[in-house]
Amino acid sequence: MLVQVNKLNVFVATGGKDFDSSLPTILFLHGSGGDHRTWAMQTRWFAFNGFSVLAPDLPGHSLSDGNAFETIEESAEWLEKFLKYIGVDKVHLVGHSQGFLTALVYAEKNSKAVSSITAIGTAAEIPVNEHLIKTAEVNRDKAAEMMCNWGFGPYAHKGISSVPGMQPIGISRAIMKNNPLAVDLRACAAFKRGNDISKKLSMDRHCILASHDKMTPMKAGLLLAKNMSIVPTVIENAGHMLPIEAPKKTLNALRQFIETIER
C-alpha cells in the first residue's frame, strides 16, 4: 500500500493481506540499500497467519519517494511519524543490519510502544569500511557488487536458493544498485550510541545471527546479544543477508520468538 508521510509517498508491503490494526503488528525494517523485498519470505507467512505486517521501503529507497536519511536518529524520527500515521499503538520491531539500528533508537524513545525487538544479521554499532563508502559515492553498482560478495554466505554463493530458479545474489545486487547505498552506509558509520542503548532495552528482545557474517561479524553480533542479555540464535553457513539467503530458518527463529510472546 502507499501512504503519505511528510507529504511523500511511502510504499509499505503488507504481506499480501490488507493491513488490520486489530491484529498484532510486526514492523520489518530493511538494511542499507535494501527494500521491502528483503522480507518477502517472512512477511507473507506472518500476514497469512494471524498478524499484520508492515515492511516499508524507507524514503529514497525503491518504491518510496524522498531522500534517504543522513542519520539513524532521523530514520527513527520518521518511523515515529510513520507509525502514528498508520495508527499502530504497539509493534514488534524486526530490523536487519542498519534497520536494526533504526529500531534501536525508536525503541529507546518509545519503549512502551514496542512489544519486542529482534536484531537480524547486525550489531549494536556498524563501522563501515571507508573504501566501501567512497566506492558507493561514485559507483553504486560496484559497491553493490562488493556488498553482495561480502554479504552472502557460502551456500548463497553456490547459488542454493529456497525459491526455485531464483538467484539471490542477483536479486540483491539489482535492488542495491538502484538505492542510496552511500547515504545509508554513512549513517551506519556515524552511529555510535548502539552499545549504550542496547544495554538498556527492557522489552522482549531477540538476536538472530549468521555464522559467516562478514559485514557485521559474529563477534560484534555476540557483543550485541550480551548487551541485550540474551542467548542469540545462530544460523550456520549463512552470511549477512540472512532474511534473503536463509529465509526459512530466519522465519522459524522469528516465529518461535514472536509467537511465544503473543501466545
Q: Residue 128: what are its φ and ψ, rounded to 5°?
A: -120, 135
127, 163, 196, 260: which one binds another protein (CB under 8 A):
163
Q: Which is nearer to another protein, 117 or 120 (CB)?
A: 120
What x/- string results for residues 51 through 80 when contact with another protein is judged by CB under 8 A? Answer: -----------xx-----------------
Contact 29, 91 (CB under 8 A): no
Cell of 24: 498484532
155, 191, 221, 245: which one binds another protein (CB under 8 A):
155
Region of 44-52, 113-121, 122-130, 226-234 interacting with another protein (CB under 8 A):
44-52
List, in sequence order, every residue forming a beta bridge with 2; answer none if it has no partner: 11
**Is 157 among the residues that bind another protein (CB under 8 A)?**
yes
Cell of 1: 500500500
CA distance 235 to 30: 19
**Is 164 among the residues that bind another protein (CB under 8 A)?**
yes
Q: Which is nearer to another protein, 12 or 79 (CB)?
A: 12
Q: Beta strands 2-5 and 52-56: pairing type?
A: unpaired
Residue reference for cell 511511502: 10
Q: Beta strands 114-120 and 91-96: pairing type?
A: parallel
**Is 169 among the residues that bind another protein (CB under 8 A)?**
yes
List, in sequence order, every residue forming a beta bridge with 59; answer none if it has no partner: none
Question: Could you tell me which of 58, 32, 68 has the C-alpha nearest to residue 151?
Answer: 32
**Is 165 among the residues that bind another protein (CB under 8 A)?**
yes
CA distance 4 to 78: 12
Q: Which is nearer to another protein, 111 or 149 (CB)?
A: 149
30, 92, 173, 212: which one binds another protein (CB under 8 A):
173
CA distance 56 to 174: 18
Q: Which is nearer to another protein, 80 or 141 (CB)?
A: 141
Q: Which is nearer to another protein, 63 or 222 (CB)?
A: 63
**Is 13 among the residues that bind another protein (CB under 8 A)?**
yes
**Is 128 among the residues that bind another protein (CB under 8 A)?**
no
Q: How far is the CB of 162 from another protein (least distance, A)?
A: 4
- Give one word for 229, left, alpha or beta, with left for phi > 0 and alpha for psi -120 to 50: left
Residues that bind another protein (CB under 8 A): 11, 13, 16-17, 35, 37, 40-41, 44-45, 48-49, 62-63, 145, 148-149, 155, 157-167, 169-171, 173-175, 247-248, 251
